[in-house]
Amino acid sequence: MQTEEEILKIKKVKNTAVRTVVLRHLLSQEKAQSLKDIENALAYTDRSSIFRTLKTFEENKVIHSIEDGSGMTKYAVCAKGCNCDPKDLHYHFYCTNCDKTFCLFDVPIPKIQLPENFKQQQANMVVKGLCDNCNK
């Protein structure tokens, strides 16, 4: 596992106090985090600073965002070497019981045969159901 400093250096994002603590929080979580999640976890960091940090991270491929339909965009740290282009994309799983959203890094997304002349740039693939912990 890389440190926050290493990741930011590789992605050419200047290291600041807020950025370090936001990235550290994201790295420490097994599930994708919403702005609200991060705000709650970092009691003394302002929401808009976290918001702008997330935008910066996303623009620089430090993290990727997930629209899981919960009403809040979730964020997760990109895998090492990820460029967020179609070949790097992966499914996400949203548990309808416990509200956790996971990156399914191990399940590849197949190449999707689009209609004539459509061009894929990105994708947001969310499977919804029960996670292992809730499916009992």
Stretch near a second copy under the rule CB under 8 A, chosen from 19-27, 37-45, 76-84, 125-133: 125-133
- d(C-alpha 54, C-alpha 109), whole Å: 25
What x-and-dash track marks residues 85-114 binding Zn ion by CB under 5 A?
A: ----------x-xx----------------
Q: What is the end-to-end Cα distance of the chain in Å, rounded?
A: 32
- Other Cβ atoms less than 10 A from the Cβ of 29: the count is 15
Query: Structure tokens of 114?
Result: 């689009």
- Radius of gyration for the alpha carbons in the chain, expressed in angstroms and rounded: 16
Task: Select the residue interacting with a second copy from 37, 67, 88, 99 (CB under 8 A).
Answer: 67
Q: How many CA atoms lie within 13 A of 30 on its CB side?
A: 3
Closest CA to 35 of 44, 48, 24: 48
Under rule CB under 7 A, residue 29 binds DNA: no
Under rule CB under 8 A, residue 55 binds a second copy: no
76 binds, among a second copy, Mn ion, DNA, none (CB under 5 to 8 A by kind): Mn ion
Q: Measure the CA dihedral 64/67/68/72, to 10°.
A: 100
The contact set with Zn ion (CB under 5 A) reads: 95, 97-98, 131, 134
The contact set with DNA (CB under 7 A) reads: 14, 16-19, 34-36, 44-49, 51-53, 56, 71-73
The contact set with a second copy (CB under 8 A) reads: 67-69, 91, 93, 96, 104, 106-107, 110, 112-132, 135
